[in-house]
Amino acid sequence: MGRRITPFRMLVERFPDVAEVVLDRCAEVIKPPTSTPLHMQEELLVEFLDDTYQIKQQQQSTDKTSNPYHDTTGHLKDLARPYTSSARMLKKNHPLMLMVEHKRTTLLAHRVCVSLIKHKWAKFGRWVCEYMRTSGPNSEGE
């Protein structure tokens, strides 16, 4: 399977101002009934940014309110598969990488993008650093 082209990817490439409006709409401030600024939370929708996985149409749930790729605990569903088996294509075609490629610095600095990047570093950054530490020229194994 080749390059995945989605409406959001097209916006990043051709209409970055509109892509920024879409990202603005992906951030919702949630105010509790007795809210003070310290108690407000922000819910961020990263579905357009982190769209690596897909589930075949006939296997999808008909419940439109649930996340099609993650269960209620936030873990990836068993039926979810990457849209391509090429790691190189997944990386090159990721919306964040398209923002870098097309020099969309304003989009990269958007709070939704920054939040996703921070989440990915918190989840995977430790493993990247550990790999670099143990496989570098100064590692103990060499």
140: in domain = no
Mean pLDDT of 13-17: 96
Quote the CA–CA distance of 110 and 11 in Å, as a whole number.
15
Query: Is residue 3 over pLDDT 80?
Result: no
What kind and span of H or E run contains 54?
A: strand 53-54
pLDDT in tens, 56-71: 554 445 554 555 655 6
pLDDT in tens, 35-57: 666 666 777 778 788 777 655 55
Query: Is residue 141 over pLDDT 60?
Result: no
35: in domain = yes
Helix (H, G, I), strand (E, B) or coil at 17: helix
142: in domain = no
Q: State the pLDDT at residue 58.
A: 45
Q: State the pLDDT at residue 142.
A: 47
Ramachandran assignment for 29, one of left (phi > 0), alpha (psi -120 to 50 degrees), beta (any other): beta
72: in domain = yes
- Whole-model pTM over 0.85: no
How many structural domains is the chain composed of?
1
Quote the CA–CA distance of 107 and 21 in Å, as a whole number.
10
15: in domain = yes
128: in domain = yes
96: in domain = yes
Q: Which residue segment(s) compose the domain that 40 sits in?
A: 7-135
16: in domain = yes
* Alpha helices per DSSP H over 94-142: 95-101, 105-108, 111-120, 126-135
